[in-house]
Amino acid sequence: MAGTVLFLIAAALAAACGAVRVILPPTDMARVVGSNVTLACVVSDRQPLESVQWKHQPVNSDAINALTFNENVLSSHAKYSVVWTYNLTVANLTHADTGLYRCTAGGRDHDAILTVVDLPANVTVDMSGEAFIGERHNLTCHASSSFPPPEVTWLVNGYGEVWSYLTLDLDKSMNGRLAECVLSYRGWDNAVRATFTIQTLYRGGYANSGTVFDNPGAILFPGASSLTSGTESSFSAIGANTVLKAIGTNTVLTTIGANTVVSAIGTNTVLTTIGANTVVSAIVANTVVSAIGANTVVSAIGANTVVSAIGANTVVSAIGANTVVSAIGANTVVSAIGANTVLTTISANTVLTTIGANIVLTTIGTNTVLTTLGANTVQKAIGTNTVLTAIGDNAVLTAIGTNTVLTTIGDNTVELLFV
């Protein structure tokens, strides 16, 4: 009898003192259907008589279901597991897993919302009409087949934000600016980005400074040959031994180096520099290219594309529409980069066969071979001497280290870490 009383007194004292502390509580998170997620609830100083429990309250339900008690799983072992002390992993997410998750420790509740999402099948950005200076136009962003509906933020050149849609009063300074439609979910900022390059026009010519030719016909520069130009074009310098078969309407060319062949440059195109010994088969409408290096072959750069630099000795078969490429390094072969792709850096000596639509790549290291990257993929870093045969749709890779070989990473994979 005395032992029982002492036990009850000890339990009451432990509960009153609340020795257990949550040093890393759960936070709101969002993840795609089919992936796994780990909700944090890291505790310290837990006494033997104290407990840590996880509960789940589904959306539109008053019921709160017990999931774990300390390390013990009270519900499905295939769905839930306790990791370390006492994080909760929820596997193979479905929309039924959306809701409130509560970690209770030391008599205190710590809540977080988990949102299970279907990323949009496609995100498009369109402008209402042609972008003539002095007019007001709307940019609209459409995300199809997304659940739940995301929050929409607009960024122009990384500054400022406007919700839902973006209204622009166009002036000369807007030309070449990059507008981004950013989709976010509760607990997942910047989940999807779609970009649009603003190309402003005068009623009588191109918005940028320089000579404007309303109807120049065939203009021949010193040292150049076979140049046919469309209306409203401006040329600062075209080097010797250059062949331009067609340059479309509203085009600005700052410099095209010697021994260059350009088959076609489409409408509303801005080219700052194309280096010597370069072959460009087609650069289509609404394209901004800051630099294409010497000894480069580009078969096609699609509409609404921004390319900051394509290095020397590079072969690019196709860069798709609505693509932003900050740098493609020297000695690189790219067969295809799909639509709505953002590439910050592709290092030297890299071979890319295919990169699918809606992909963000921060860095791909030196001597890397990528056969296929599926749609809706985010790659923060892929290290040196890496071979990737296939990465499926909707995958997120934070880091893949040096000398790594990945044959297949399946669809809907999130937060893979290879070091």
The string of DSSP letters for 345-378 reads EE-SS-EEEEE-SS-EEEEE-TT-EEEEE-SS-E
Q: Average the pLDDT over 136-143 and give the result.
A: 87
Q: Do 157 and 46 reside in the same domain of the chain?
A: no
Closest CA to 378 of 402, 362, 354, 400: 362
* Peptide bond between residue 202 and the one before it cis (omega within 30 degrees of 0): no
Q: Do 341 and 244 reside in the same domain of the chain?
A: yes
DSSP 11: H
Q: Which residues pair with 83 in a beta bridge?
A: 87
Residue 2 lies in a domain: no
Task: Show which of 83, 117, 151 is a domain's final residue.
Answer: 117
- Owning domain of residue 175: 122-197
Residue 206 lies in a domain: no
- In the predicted model, is pLDDT for residue 224 greater than 90? no
> In this predicted structure, what is the pLDDT of residue 271?
72
Instruction: Give 336-387 pLDDT, tens digit per residue.
Output: 777 777 676 777 777 776 677 677 676 677 777 777 777 677 676 777 777 7
Q: Do 136 and 83 reside in the same domain of the chain?
A: no
Maximum separation of any 2 CA atoms in the chain, in Å: 109
pTM for the structure as a whole? 0.46
Angle at alpha carbon of residue 144, lines to 141 and 145, rounded to 5°: 150
Task: Show which of 117, 150, 174 is a domain's final residue.
Answer: 117
Indicate the SS3 state at residue 219.
coil
> In this predicted structure, what is the pLDDT of residue 244?
60
Q: Do 243 and 340 reside in the same domain of the chain?
A: yes
Residue 6 lies in a domain: no
Q: Average the pLDDT over 13-30 and give the result.
A: 78
Residues in the chain: 419
> In this predicted structure, what is the pLDDT of residue 261?
67
Q: Average the pLDDT over 154-166 and give the result.
A: 65
- In the predicted model, is pLDDT for residue 86 greater than 90? yes
Residue 4 lies in a domain: no
Q: Do 129 and 272 reside in the same domain of the chain?
A: no
Task: Read off the CATH number of the domain in which 174 is found.
Answer: 2.60.40.10
Q: Average the pLDDT over 15-27 and give the result.
A: 79
Tokens at 132, concatenated = 């003539």
180 vs 403, more confident: 180
Task: Show which of 72, 98, 117 is a domain's final residue.
Answer: 117
Lowest-pLDDT range of 190-204, 375-389, 405-419 = 405-419
Q: Do 98 and 146 reside in the same domain of the chain?
A: no
Q: Do 84 and 138 reside in the same domain of the chain?
A: no
- In the predicted model, is pLDDT for residue 28 greater than 80? yes
Number of domains composing the chain: 3
Q: Do 151 and 190 reside in the same domain of the chain?
A: yes
> In this predicted structure, what is the pLDDT of residue 213?
23
Residue 321 lies in a domain: yes
Instruction: Give 248-272 pLDDT, tens digit per residue.
Output: 666 666 667 666 766 667 767 777 6
> In this predicted structure, what is the pLDDT of residue 338?
72
> In which order are the strands placed within the sheet that holds 315-316?
224-229, 242-247, 261-262, 279-280, 297-298, 315-316, 333-334, 351-355, 369-373, 387-391, 405-409
Instruction: Give 32-82 pLDDT, tens digit per residue.
Output: 999 999 999 999 988 888 999 999 999 999 999 999 999 999 999 999 999
139 vs 24, more confident: 24
Closest CA to 118 of 88, 144, 80, 83: 144
Dihedral pair phi/psi, residue 178, rounded to 5°: -105, 120
Contacts 24+ apart (CB under 8 A), 47-53: 47/14, 47/19, 47/20, 49/10, 49/11, 49/14, 49/15, 50/14, 50/15, 50/19, 50/20, 50/105, 50/106, 51/104, 51/105, 52/20, 52/85, 52/86, 52/103, 52/104, 52/105, 53/103, 53/104, 53/105
> In this predicted structure, what is the pLDDT of residue 203?
60
Residue 170 lies in a domain: yes
Q: Do 109 and 156 reside in the same domain of the chain?
A: no
- In the predicted model, is pLDDT for residue 5 greater than 70? no
Mean residue pLDDT across the chain: 75
Residue 59 lies in a domain: yes
Q: Do 242 and 314 reside in the same domain of the chain?
A: yes
Q: Do 21 and 113 reside in the same domain of the chain?
A: yes
| Contact call for residues 68 and 80 (beta carbons, < 8 A) | yes
Residue 269 lies in a domain: yes
Q: Do 331 and 274 reside in the same domain of the chain?
A: yes
- In the predicted model, is pLDDT for residue 136 greater than 50? yes
